[in-house]
Amino acid sequence: MNKKWEINKPDEEIVKEIENKYKINNLLAKILVNRGITSKEDVKKFLSPTRKDFYDPYLMPDMGKAVDRIIKALKNKEKILIYGDYDVDGITSVTVLKSFLEERGLKVDEYIPNRLDEGYGLNKIAVEKIAKEKYTLMITVDCGISAVEEVQYANSLGLEVIITDHHEPGEKLPEAIAIVDAKRKDNEYPFRNLAGVGVVFKLIQAISINLNLDEKEYLKYLDIVCIGTISDIVPLVDENRVIVKLGLKLVEQTKNIGLKTILQLSGYQKVDSTTISFGIAPRINACGRMGHQEDALKLFLSNDKQEVYELAEKLNEYNIQRQSKEKQIFLEALDKIKKDSIYNNRIMVIDGENWHHGVIGIVASKITEMYFKPSILLCFEGEEGKGSGRSIPGFDLHDALSKCEQSLEKFGGHAMAIGLTVKKDKLDNLRNMLDEIAKEKQIDKIVSILRIDAQADLKDIDMQIVDSLKELEPFGEENKVPLFVFKNLKIDSIRALSEGKHIKLTLRQDGKHLINAMGFNLGSLTNDYRIGDKVDVVGSLEINKFNGEESMQILLKDMMKSI
């Protein structure tokens, strides 16, 4: 697949101004300008955020109503239940709200639906069960915004509902006491892209303000809030960046035994967003994916070291099972794509039977990345199929599905990731409608873009400059690892690693400046290039540590022959 290289060309005057004003190097200044961070307030907040950079939680829709109702429940010692989701965002949301409320002296129970039996969000059977157990108030976290019928049913059973969510609302909002979601159309909150646990954090901040509690009573949960925020792949800018930047400092010294244990078992030496994304999140998500969501919650809530260790070991085992199932489904899906020529479709809808519901979303992500096309994987049991879909930048999959409602039983999510339920007799109609929508939106013209922060020369790069790029961490959505293009480099050596999977190069500029480059999953490039070729390469810069030695290295993203 061809990638389009787009090299940012920032205003050099502004770059120079920022470079001088904040005493930072030229490369760092260029990256800040590229990302629209130019004002004094923005630069300070981006590089060195503090707790003073949190917005007023009461600017959120219905926040006052939610706080008043929860404080009433606190005073009356009501029977409260938190209804969450089974992914990392949902598990951390339940952990934070339950822990905070119980520290205020209120016993709080929780309900997390089983992904395999109940699916995502509120369901009437669970609502009826909760009402029968005489709960007077249910607070949803990381779900609920689309549960119009379920909330109406709860109301009819005398169960009051507060919704806290961060997903896109539909045309009609549920009739809840309060709906705290910054994606509401009437929202006036300055930042609309919080994770579900971020919304919960704003809720406990608002309760703390109302009760005149010390700031530390809600700030101390930033380690857990940080985990959920990174794991949910929300944009790591603005208030999310404040949460994560401050939260990672607390993760390093966390007092949560479960988090500390799983960090140790993950094997990562450094605590950063990569550790959370690849070391922590998959293990927690594996619980929900494999139908054992309670174990992930217990891990965070337990103070028993032995129990925590046993739970952490279980999480590892669930993750191994998840990886095995994922590999099997991925291979079967690829076979179907080739056999049925699904790769010709603008949106790839792949269906199968006996596929594990819990992992098809990950497989959809892999297929979307592989073909650079939106993909939906559906698992049919009888006449009904449940599935997950992933999109590409520039195509709103949630919006596309909203135009196919007559072919769907249920759907939800956001622009880049969706969940859906469809009947088998409506599948062909869904495929055709999605293809027409994609055609109308000219999806064929969307190409994979490598957004490059700057053209760089090896003579201008040293270890100190590469090290300074750490100031831009944590990296994630909308704050990607900076990419640089290096032109007219000569290949000094080239070889494939791991049975042709990866590529390792030594590159030279102007006959003297030498640097190593490593390209993961780019091993096929060894067939196209030879020693002595002149190439342009795109990649990030890192400091490689090997045998006690440190050296600069390019982490390769793409390469082409120099013109």
Q: Mean pLDDT for each 10-residue chunk of the chain (563 residues)?
A: 85 93 92 92 92 97 98 96 93 97 95 79 93 96 94 97 94 96 96 97 98 97 97 92 96 95 88 91 88 91 94 92 92 95 94 87 92 95 91 94 92 85 94 95 92 92 93 92 96 94 94 91 92 96 86 94 91
Structure tokens at 7: 């090299």
Identity at 189, one-letter amino acid code: Y
CATH node for 340-446: 3.10.310.30
Side-chain-facing half-sphere of 301: CA atoms under 13 Å: 21
| CA nearest neighbour of 559 among 499, 473, 485 | 485
Beta-bridge partner residues of 476: 479
| pLDDT for the residue numbered 415 | 85
For residue 188, count CB atoms less than 10 angstroms from its CB and return exposed for 0-12, middle for 13-18, buried for 19 or more: exposed
| pLDDT for the residue numbered 288 | 82
Which strands make up the sheet holding 410-413, listed edge to edge?
A: 348-353, 375-381, 384-390, 417-423, 410-413
Q: Which of helix, strand or coil describes residue 375?
A: strand
**pTM for this prediction:** 0.87
Beta strands 137-141 and 484-497 are unpaired
Q: Assign domain 6-10+450-561 to a CATH class.
A: mainly beta
Identity at 351, one-letter amino acid code: D
Residue 179 has phi, psi (to 5 degrees) of -125, 100
Distance CA 246, CA 201 (A): 13
| pLDDT for the residue numbered 2 | 66
Kindly report, as residue ranges, where domains of CATH 3.10.310.30 are found in the chain.
340-446
Spell 227-243 as b/e; 16+ CB within 10 A means b. bbbbbbebbbbbbbbbb
Distance CA 260, CA 251 (A): 8
- Please count the other Cβ atoms lying within 10 Å of the Cβ belonging to residue 168: 18
Cα 460 to chain centroid, rounded: 34
Distance CA 290, CA 313 (A): 15
Identity at 506, one-letter amino acid code: T
- Please count the other Cβ atoms lying within 10 Å of the Cβ belonging to residue 145: 26
Distance CA 546, CA 443 (A): 44
Q: Which of helix, strand or coil describes residue 54?
A: coil
Kindly report, as residue ranges, where domains of CATH 2.40.50.460 are found in the chain.
6-10+450-561
Q: How many helices (H) and strands (E) does the chain have?
A: 20, 18
Identity at 509, one-letter amino acid code: Q
* 442: region left, alpha or beta (phi > 0 left; psi from -120 to 50 alpha): left
Structure tokens at 236: 């790591």
> How many angstroms separate the Cα of 14 from the Cα of each of 41, 56, 115, 269, 503?
15, 31, 50, 38, 38
| pLDDT for the residue numbered 324 | 92
Residues 6+ apart with CB under 8 A from 428: none
Distance CA 107, CA 24 (A): 51
Cis peptide before 393 (omega within 30 of 0): no
Beta-bridge partner residues of 376: 349, 389
Beta-bridge partner residues of 558: 538
| pLDDT for the residue numbered 1 | 54
| CA nearest neighbour of 31 among 50, 46, 53 | 46
Whether residue 149 contacts residue 124, with contact meaning beta carbons closer than 8 Å, is answered with yes
Spell 104-117 as b/e; 16+ CB within 10 A means b. bebebebbbbebbe
Question: Max alpha carbon distance in the chain (Å)?
Answer: 78
CATH of 55-215, one of 3.90.1640.30, 3.30.70.360, 1.10.3720.10, 2.40.50.90: 3.90.1640.30
